Structure 1
Amino acid sequence: MASSEAGVRLSINLRERCRMHDLNEALDDLRAVLPYARGGSVRKLSKIATLLLAKNHIIMQAKAIEELRQLVVSLRTQLESKPPASDE
């Protein structure tokens, strides 16, 4: 292998290593904010498990927000349909 080819290969390997470090750091940051059991006896989530848990958590949060939005609309409608209280 020529010297320039070795240099290119080293550069590619370094770039890939940095990319993987960045990816692992981002996944660790994601694990830190996801609701799941942590502790000495619990293994760290795998990359795919972290992504699946994050996806499911986002879906659940979106559903909760939609339910709350519907509740607010319903309560607002009820409030607007009530006759004003008389001041006696």
Structure 2
Amino acid sequence: MLRNALEPWHLIIVVVVLVVVFGSKKLPDMARALGKSARILKSEAKAMKEDPAPPASVQTPPPAPGAQSPITPTSVESPR
């Protein structure tokens, strides 16, 4: 059924509809913006591939016996 889905006359109809809807003056600006967005997307995807992935989980070594953990709150005297 969709063997010949996109033929040249389909493309001509799409172009004519775009020109009628958006106008011939706005189409170059839209194409320029689309190209700029595609370039930005491509550069961001490339940057994500080049960056090393952060470790899945960061494990901290257990504290030494008798050592106070830096996370443990200490007692604070309140002023009277």
TM-score with structure 1 setting the length: 0.40
Q: Give 1 or 2: higher helix fraction.
A: 1
Larger radius of gyration: 2
TM-score with structure 2 setting the length: 0.43
Specify which structure has the bigger relative contact order, considering alpha-carbon pairs within 8 angstroms and separated by 6 or more residues. Answer: 1
